[in-house]
Amino acid sequence: MKVLQLCNKPPQPTIDGGCIAINNISKGLLAKDISLKILTIATEKHPFIPTAFSEEFQEKTNIEGVFVDTRVNIIDAFSALITSDSYNISRFFSPDFDKKLTEILQEDTYDVVHLESLFMTPYIQTIRTYSKANVVLRSHNLEHLIWERLANSTGNKAKRIYLKHLASRLKVYEKKTINEVEGIATISYEDTERFASLTKKIPILTVPFGIDLGDYKCEGNKRPKKNRFFHIGAMNWEPNKEAINWFMDAIWPSVKGLDIELHLAGRHIPGYMMAQADENFIVHGEVDSATCFMADHDVMVVPLLSGSGVRVKIIEAMAMGKAVITTSVGAEGIDCEDGKHLLIADTADAFAHQMQFLLDSPNMVDEIGNNARLLVEGKYDNDKVVDNLIQFYQELNQEM
């Protein structure tokens, strides 16, 4: 089977959850001896760095990158306000990328064109023109749901109106576009149900975020003098920034007097967050290794109020046997049981209570972490995930 994987960001370096999710699909397909070709968008935020890939990976995938300027252009964004365009999507279309895609499709034939995220769907027409391959959308999130939740959580009336406008445009685009592909591979059962409500004819398969368990060592928690709570995530993703703002404003004042430390890591941490650092609130900024950072700390806090899909860093932390406290939004898409595999708290008081609970019951940190690891082993092993995806490809090909 020959697969062309079109990516909205390079699979490597794996600097965020999206990159990790894409990379794990790529590696998984290669491990199953699928003939894989990768064409990726490169941006200022996610540049294409050939040296980030091993020689073997480059040789097997013949990966190529095309730079696309996806930065927000005020004029284009304003124009989209008075048209039916979804600016969130249209800024990912590039004549240069389209030309390269055309060349690739004219040079070879493929059984499946795998689109990583809704942002690659502007190229469906080109795929239809030059290929008879089945098009499969790998959905990382329901994009319109992210913006709906951001709109609902903001107190700024003008911002709320604008975000609702973006969400409505995205919803119209998503509903139209998902009916133009042969199959949809969602990242969570919740997203599968939501997509099913938008389309009645397109086959949908839940393909969870998978990880290579060997990359995540679970050695138990070596608890230091203070319990070290931590969060890791890029702060140029709006839901992450919103989450930490809420945590610092509504939760941290009530728990910072306890015998704990809070460690914050990630790219693009704003200056006002760094300015709050003290002996109990340690800001690390971007770290060399997310897994090493997680291994060095005890309990992950993920106070998400908006977003969609699956939080990759939560799955990674669970794979390392870490206890996690998050919201219902943060736990969404993870087939887990509250109180067994992680702890869920949807209010500031509840979040502080769960932190206090783990301080008072240190054995539960280990118990929840061990249960989390077992859950990941059973449901998020990348080998099993990719097997199901390939079977989905094969079933679609049989229907042609």
The 3-class SS string of 75-111 reads HHHHHHHCCCCCHHHHCCCCHHHHHHHHHHHHHCCCC
pLDDT, tens digit, for every residue of 245-279? 999 999 999 998 898 999 999 999 999 999 999 99
pLDDT at 174: 82
pLDDT for 181 beyond 70: yes
Partners of 134 in the beta sheet? 112
Residue 138: partners with Cβ closer than 8 Å, 6 or more residues away? 25, 114, 115, 116, 117, 185, 187, 207
Q: Are residues 368 and 393 in the same domain?
A: no
Q: Which amino acid is at 257?
A: G
pLDDT at 147: 60
Angle (CA) 301-305-311 rounded to 5° is 60
The mean pLDDT value of the chain amounts to 88
Domain of residue 49, residue span:
2-210+381-398
pLDDT, tens digit, for every residue of 311-353? 889 999 999 999 999 999 999 889 899 999 999 999 999 999 9
Q: Are residues 121 and 148 in the same domain?
A: yes
Residue 220: partners with Cβ closer than 8 Å, 6 or more residues away? 321, 366, 369
Report cis status (omega within 30 of 0) of the bond before 239: no
Q: Are residues 166 and 184 in the same domain?
A: yes
Continuous segment of H or E residues that includes residue 230: strand 227-232
Q: What distance separates the 2 farthest-apart alpha carbons in the chain?
A: 64
Continuous segment of H or E residues that includes residue 206: strand 204-206
What CA–CA distances, in Å, run from 235 to 36, 61, 81, 214?
33, 31, 26, 28
Q: Check residues 178 and 231 and name the one with the higher pLDDT.
A: 231
What mean pLDDT comes out for the span 203-227? 76
Phi, psi at residue 363, to the nearest 5°? -65, -25
Confidence band for 156, pLDDT divided at 50, 70 and 90: confident
Counting the structural domains of the chain, the total is 2
What does the buried/exposed string (b/e) look like for 223-248 if buried means 16 or more CB atoms within 10 Å of the residue's CB?
A: eeeebbbbbbbbbebebbbbbbbbbb
pLDDT at 85: 47
Q: Are residues 375 and 385 in the same domain?
A: no
pLDDT, tens digit, for every residue of 91-139? 889 999 999 999 999 999 999 999 999 889 999 999 999 999 999 999 8
Q: Give pTM, 2 decimals.
A: 0.75
User: Which tokens in the block code for residue 15?
Assistant: 């600097």
pLDDT at 82: 41
Q: Are residues 240 and 167 in the same domain?
A: no
pLDDT for 44 beyond 60: yes
pLDDT at 201: 87
Q: Are residues 69 and 127 in the same domain?
A: yes
Q: Are residues 170 and 239 in the same domain?
A: no
Q: Are residues 165 and 241 in the same domain?
A: no
Q: Are residues 231 and 220 in the same domain?
A: yes
In the chain, the N- to C-terminal Cα span, in Å, equals 15
pLDDT for 150 beyond 60: yes
Provide the H-helix boundaries in the chain. Answer: 17-31, 55-61, 74-81, 87-90, 95-107, 124-130, 143-153, 157-177, 189-198, 238-246, 252-255, 271-274, 290-295, 312-319, 328-331, 348-360, 362-379, 382-398
Cα 259 → chain centroid: 32
Q: Are residues 199 and 224 in the same domain?
A: no
Confidence band for 80, pLDDT divided at 50, 70 and 90: very low
Confidence band for 226, pLDDT divided at 50, 70 and 90: low
Q: Check residues 271 and 88 and name the one with the higher pLDDT.
A: 271
What mean pLDDT comes out for the span 1-12? 97
Confidence band for 81, pLDDT divided at 50, 70 and 90: very low
Q: Are 117 and 138 in contact (CB under 8 A)?
A: yes
Residue 278: partners with Cβ closer than 8 Å, 6 or more residues away? none
Q: Are residues 226 and 196 in the same domain?
A: no
User: Which tokens in the block code for residue 106?
Assistant: 């004219």
Q: Are residues 86 and 189 in the same domain?
A: yes
The CATH number given to whatever domain includes residue 97 is 3.40.50.2000
pLDDT for 16 beyond 90: no
> Please, which contacts does 195-204 make with residues 24 or more away whose CB atoms are closer than 8 Å?
195/139, 195/142, 198/174, 199/175, 202/178, 203/392, 203/395, 203/396
Of all residues in the chain, the percent with pLDDT exceeding 90 is: 64
Radius of gyration of the chain (CA): 21
Confidence band for 400, pLDDT divided at 50, 70 and 90: low
What CA–CA distances, in Å, run from 248 to 231, 242, 258, 293, 351?
12, 10, 15, 21, 12
Nearest to 210 by CA among 6, 3, 26, 10: 26
Distance from C-alpha of 186 to C-alpha of 193, rounded to nearest angstrom: 10
pLDDT at 270: 94
